[in-house]
Structure 1
């Protein structure tokens, strides 16, 4: 009986909290809920064969469970003509950033010497891992995740994140065309750095996470050390009435606890959801949709989700944004500050200036520009402070990490295949900068170059077809 009473109290509290949040937000579409499912039914059987199995000994008996590896580059004695050198690269984007406990910065992104991104197998595409020991002023590419030697496999959507113990982990998404004969044709593999202060750190053996895209958004870390990973089934993007958007909850040892699912939302594209924990313990996330960002909430630790419809402030139209709770309790949002309306069947892209006036985009008429850092004082209900980071060209796909001194490092890409662009930028800011709407601390900077192949003799040239 006491357990039943406690359950009723908890359920009532959750319903009251739900009603309170809904009352504070404008009216949206009817509420939709989804529940948990068996992790193996979503991730596939991630149990690995024995080390003696033929699939574990490349190049014999390759399967979706044959482990990938990281390739060390730009080390003393390496031949200068290796195939991953930057002056061969013509396309790159989708960066991530992380920082070690000692302050060494790490970044990753995907690139190609041959073509633009080609889903679903991303042939001839690899992921670069780069590092900086001087706070982001200079960078050196030190590892590559390149599955091309495995049946022409390609890499996509790499990830760097810091686990509850402070270890930096890298996730490589591998894609191999097994002609429908292997459930791990797409597979996410996670490596952990053993010495993140060393530019050519050793790594753990890779761990197979699953057969879904699980490497676009950084996991959410709970106070007890458990984590929640965001997942999406990209092969169903654009196909109606398919459940795609999910979360994987893991215990402190990496064992799956549950997988939860969003209800079907045919307006969602590459969802790229990144939840935060609000002050009342509930979870809140945006997810990418055709006309901006929609939002969802969970009042049971992520087991079930309520869809709320489009968020009232329009931003990041059909592109990625990120959310992160800062030590102060404020919520950081990094997103494209662009709005859209239609006039005479034509899309008009604009932004609202500091005086509340609408200003149409003139130079770059795209939703992927005006990368902006926002702050919320009220757990994501509103974002009343903002600071423009970059509006030079097509800017997208932010990632952020926090240093112990309060610095916020943010990366994003520019013109992935554009002549003279295909740049990875890094900005360093603080909460105070966002509140002021400009840099106010001397150590901050905007748009330092992490990587630009055209500066190194590479890059797309006039006449190149991507």
Structure 2
């Protein structure tokens, strides 16, 4: 971690923080409602005990600060019947994707050999890290984040992202039932790849980030190499009038700068907010709500936020979407292109076809289908260009990364516990494809399989009850 921090401090030599923040100050408004709070009051005290402390020497003295580890799998000489092999898996989903500077693709998701997802502790659930050295054609599972040996801990919501220096980092969210006696029962731990071109890379020691969910959405990178992490307190979902949607701003060395909070919004569910920096320096984000996506804006670098209500275009109803500014300046949105209408006490799910006609979903009547890539030419005010990626069943939870050649890599899951599905898909597209509404780049493709346990002798079977 010390080596990583030194690299990040080097990035500070070219920091633009002062000029960036000065440019934002004129945008302050008395209408903003959220506030900043002390990071420790939200994250807990993330200082680890000294190495000789009993809690730092597994398996003795396990606490919420006992460091987790990554387990290497599918290496030469490993016995073929290890417990994380894919032909035992019956459930998986919530993928993330990242790409190295040399073009090696990495993906992660969570799965289980025995059950569907079970919050809040996710027992018997682990996170898989897989990699591809051939542009996504073939994949190999190479690491597992599995905290089950620590008092039956479970993994949830893993993350891969690339820091301002181009280093790929993995965040594992660990959940242990300490019967309410440890503030780090839920804890986010971050590892950095030391050789991302190597399928069995070495890793940095894990860093404790905090006791909140900080691993669903990729952090926002600022021009000065500071970052902003999206946070949510999932334990408070459904509890009215509780502040739980937050952002953590960190300096280039990982030091917390501030934590900001959204005003209470009882329409918000698992918020999964992912802000972008607009051309005028202000921040814009969607966040997940009961009837679609709501939006929020910040005019002071993320310290305070103004809620804007439901976005006029309905999409990703109570499910995750992602935003990303592309090198061209256009804004990429990946979301479920489904609208919902309430009629006579029942819900109808519809979409708008290329001719502008409303069509009712017939085969898959769910908000989680029609995964679509959109482009905005106006900083997210409208999304006028779109490309349908997949409408084959229940499709959800996109993640995207950009190749050095302009390619956009997008992963998402299909039917997490559905017989014959529980698939992780990868699509590779370009801006030109989205603008055309179809694939025009000969290197682009849709829905390559990253992982499908039923193709490997695993998967849920008839009669299985998850």
Q: TM-score, normalised by structure 2?
A: 0.95
Partner of 2:322: 322
Q: Is the 8 A contact 2:100 2:168 kept in 1?
A: yes
d(CA) in 1 for partners of 2:327 and 2:238?
38
Which 5+ residue runs of structure 1 have no aligned equivalent? 1-6, 19-30
Partner of 1:427: 427
Partner of 1:337: 337
Q: Is the 8 A contact 2:105 2:132 kept in 1?
A: yes
Partner of 1:24: none
The CA RMSD over aligned residues, in Å, is 1.2
Structure 1 residues 8-87: aligned runs within 5 Å: 12-15=26-29, 33-87=33-87
Q: Is the 8 A contact 1:109 1:129 kept in 2?
A: yes
Give 1:14 deviation, angstroms.
3.7
Q: Is the 8 A contact 2:145 2:155 kept in 1?
A: yes
1:109-139 Cα distance to aligned partner (Å, 9 max, x none): 0000000000000000000000000000000
d(CA) in 2 for partners of 1:10 and 1:158?
33
Partner of 2:14: none
Structure 1 residues 221-370: aligned runs within 5 Å: 221-370=221-370
Q: Is the 8 A contact 1:32 1:263 kept in 2?
A: no
d(CA) in 2 for partners of 1:345 and 1:151?
46
Q: Is the 8 A contact 1:153 1:174 kept in 2?
A: yes
d(CA) in 1 for partners of 2:95 and 2:26?
42
Partner of 1:412: 412
Partner of 1:27: none
d(CA) in 2 for partners of 1:64 and 1:79?
31
d(CA) in 1 for partners of 2:161 and 2:134?
20
In the alignment, is residue 102 of structure 1 matched against residue 111 of structure 2? no
d(CA) in 2 for partners of 1:301 and 1:117?
36
d(CA) in 2 for partners of 1:434 and 1:355?
16
d(CA) in 2 for partners of 1:231 and 1:271?
9
Q: Is the 8 A contact 2:24 2:281 kept in 1?
A: no
Give 1:32 deviation, angstroms.
5.8
d(CA) in 2 for partners of 1:355 and 1:439?
19
For the structure 1 residues 13 and 117, does the alpha-carbon distance in structure 2 shift closer, same or farther, using more than 3 Å as the test? closer
In the alignment, is residue 205 of structure 1 matched against residue 205 of structure 2? yes
Q: Is the 8 A contact 2:249 2:258 kept in 1?
A: yes
d(CA) in 2 for partners of 1:449 and 1:156?
22
1:362-419 Cα distance to aligned partner (Å, 9 max, x none): 0000000000000000000000000000000000000000001000000000000000
Instruction: Point out 4+ residue stretches in structure 1 off by more than 2 angstroms.
Output: 7-15
For the structure 1 residues 73 and 13, does the alpha-carbon distance in structure 2 shift closer, same or farther, using more than 3 Å as the test? closer
Query: What secondary structure does 2:273 align onto?
Result: coil
Q: Is the 8 A contact 1:170 1:190 kept in 2?
A: yes
1:32-85 Cα distance to aligned partner (Å, 9 max, x none): 610100000000000000000000000000000000000000000001110000
For the structure 1 residues 353 and 254, does the alpha-carbon distance in structure 2 shift closer, same or farther, using more than 3 Å as the test? same
d(CA) in 1 for partners of 2:317 and 2:308?
17
Partner of 2:119: 119
For the structure 1 residues 127 and 12, does the alpha-carbon distance in structure 2 shift closer, same or farther, using more than 3 Å as the test? closer
d(CA) in 2 for partners of 1:46 and 1:150?
19
1:232-281 Cα distance to aligned partner (Å, 9 max, x none): 00000011010000000000000000000000000000000000000000
d(CA) in 1 for partners of 2:364 and 2:293?
21
Partner of 1:393: 393
For the structure 1 residues 10 and 223, does the alpha-carbon distance in structure 2 shift closer, same or farther, using more than 3 Å as the test? closer
For the structure 1 residues 336 and 94, does the alpha-carbon distance in structure 2 shift closer, same or farther, using more than 3 Å as the test? same
d(CA) in 2 for partners of 1:8 and 1:248?
20
Partner of 1:175: 175
Partner of 1:154: 154
Give 1:13 deviation, angstroms.
4.3
Query: What secondary structure does 2:103 align onto?
Result: coil
d(CA) in 2 for partners of 1:133 and 1:152?
34
Which 5+ residue runs of structure 2 have no aligned equivalent? 1-20
Q: TM-score, normalised by structure 1?
A: 0.95
Aligned residues: 446
